[in-house]
Amino acid sequence: MLKKSIVLSLAALAVSLVSPLSLRAAERVTGPWDLAKLKQTPTATWGDRKSLVQEVFYEGEPFGGKPTRVFAYYARPEKIDGKLPAMVCVHGGGGKAFAEWATLWAKRGYAAIAMDLAGVGPDGKRLADGGPGQGDTEKFRVFTDAGAKEMWTYHAVAAVIRGHSLLASRPEVDAGRVGITGISWGGYLTCIVSGLDDRLKVSVPVYGCGFLSENSAWLGQFAKLGPEPSARWVKFFDPSVYLPGVSCPILFLNGTTDFAYPLDSYQKCYRLVTAPVTLGITPTLRHSHPAGWAPVEIGLFADSVLRDGAPLPRLGAMQTTADTASASFESKLPVTKAQLHFAKAEGAWQKRLWTSVDAMIKGAEISAHLPAAPRPLVYFLTVTDKRGATVSTPHAVLGEGAAK
């Protein structure tokens, strides 16, 4: 039993306490991108439509002094009744333009574009006029300020924003109802693009975040670069620079033991966002493209913003008093489960062993007893509604040790 009452208030992050009418995004940092140019409809060449999917090549940024093209899949429903909401789908490392991902959104009643970000075409082979590859060599190397436009992140971000511009130009698409979601490195890009592109109405980065030079799977790459090149990389290409500019509702999804994007860096990122933030942190989220587009929360969150669907549950700020963690919640649909998740707050995040126990639901509040040990303890609460949609509080740390 703790002798003191500790109240951990994270109200700025609790979506139930965030009013979109009272908050504004910070002034956007635009980095090396010409947003006025990228918001113009790019030149595109369309292929044949097969079932719900159509191939398209569109204009990319010059690379090595030569023009480039970006390959993508565009999908839309078979039957269209009025203007469609739309989603931009951004793949991660080792990924490609996924026709099945775009199709998934089309089956939900959306138009969608899923582009390639590795300079390859539909056959997986490099295009003669493709942009840079997506390996660590292309992502992490020494460059000058003038050379930033030769880097993979520069080209990938430009391709995503141009993909949005192309998607919004389609006659069947409602340009005022376009969102974005990305997985892993695609989540990283989604964080950047969401802070750059003020046309977006909803955002769902999965796994990916910023503060990569402070804690991530790529610390070795920054060590190889050295202090000055690393600082330049962060200045141009870390999402932490751009996240304060996000102005649309954003859902951050991640697992507690993600190998690439640990929860300390993740928390620093969502704390930067002044727009409405929803968290979906779970111990069980695997890291892959199929696992990254599968969570039911993604489609439901997009629907709640773009199609007047029922919103996800909303958790208030987590409070810890004596040996109990609690939080208020709001939900349009019945809440079927509440849980406390905890682990010892030491060592690498991906090696921590998490335990989940049921929390008590009483009225519009959930609560759970914290274990007497271990200490320091990292923990958070979740609620799940009858659709299986889970949202979480930010994590907190109790006891001696670094608050991570």
pLDDT in tens, 172-192: 999 999 999 999 999 999 999
Reported as a pLDDT band with limits 50, 70 and 90, residue 357 is very high
Q: What is the mean pLDDT of the chain?
A: 93
Q: By percentage, how much of the chain surpasses pLDDT 90?
A: 91
Distance CA 250, CA 185 (A): 17
DSSP E strand boundaries for 42-135: 44-50, 53-59, 69-75, 84-90, 111-115
The DSSP element (H or E) to which 8 belongs, if any, is: none
- pLDDT score for 399: 87
CA angle 110, 111, 116 (to 5 degrees): 125
Domain 16-312 has CATH 3.40.228.10: no
Residue type, 144: T
- Residue with the bigger pLDDT between 289 and 26: it is 289
* 16-312 against 315-398: fold identical: no
Distance CA 203, CA 222 (A): 28
Dump pLDDT digits (tens) for 128-158.
Answer: 999 999 999 999 999 999 999 999 999 999 9
Q: Is the pLDDT of residue 9 over 50?
A: no
Q: Is the pLDDT of residue 5 over 80?
A: no
Up-side HSE of residue 205: CA atoms within 13 Å toward CB? 29
Q: Is the pLDDT of residue 86 over 80?
A: yes
Distance CA 372, CA 353 (A): 16
- pLDDT score for 257: 97
- Residue with the bigger pLDDT between 403 and 383: it is 383
Average pLDDT over residues 366-373: 96
Residue 12, Cα to own-chain centre: how many angstroms?
19
DSSP string covering 9-57, please? --TTT-GGG--TTT--PPPPP-TT--HHHHTSPPPEEEEEEETTEEEEE
Cis geometry, peptide bond prior to residue 276 (ω within 30 degrees of 0): no
- pLDDT score for 28: 87
Q: Is the pLDDT of residue 379 over 60?
A: yes
The DSSP element (H or E) to which 229 belongs, if any, is: helix 227-237
Q: Is the pLDDT of residue 259 over 90?
A: yes
- For residue 85, the 8-state DSSP code is E
Average pLDDT over residues 189-204: 98
279 Cβ neighbours under 8 A, 6+ residues apart: 13, 15, 251, 252, 270, 391, 392, 393, 394
212 Cβ neighbours under 8 A, 6+ residues apart: 188, 218, 222, 234, 238, 265
- pLDDT score for 400: 59
CATH superfamily name and code, 315-398: Immunoglobulins (2.60.40.10)
pTM: 0.93
Distance CA 87, CA 291 (A): 18
Cis geometry, peptide bond prior to residue 374 (ω within 30 degrees of 0): yes
- pLDDT score for 27: 76
Q: Is the pLDDT of residue 368 over 60?
A: yes
- pLDDT score for 228: 98
| Tokens encoding 6 | 């500790």
Are the C-beta atoms of 300 and 387 separated by less than 8 Å? yes
Dump pLDDT digits (tens) for 262-315.
Answer: 999 999 999 999 999 999 999 989 999 999 999 999 999 999 999 999 999 999
- pLDDT score for 3: 32
Q: By percentage, how much of the chain surpasses pLDDT 70?
A: 92
Distance CA 361, CA 284 (A): 22
Are the C-beta atoms of 281 and 255 separated by less than 8 Å? yes
Distance CA 105, CA 89 (A): 9
- The residue ranges of every structural domain in the chain are 16-312, 315-398
Average pLDDT over residues 19-47: 82
User: 256: closest CA among 394, 403, 402?
Assistant: 394
Distance CA 100, CA 104 (A): 6
Distance CA 234, CA 375 (A): 34
C-alpha distance across the termini of the chain, in Å: 22
Reported as a pLDDT band with limits 50, 70 and 90, residue 404 is low
Q: CB under 8 Å, gap of 24 or more: what pairs does 368-374 form?
A: 368/324, 368/325, 368/326, 368/338, 368/339, 368/340, 369/323, 369/324, 370/320, 370/323, 370/324, 370/325, 370/340, 370/342, 370/398, 371/342, 372/1, 372/323, 374/344
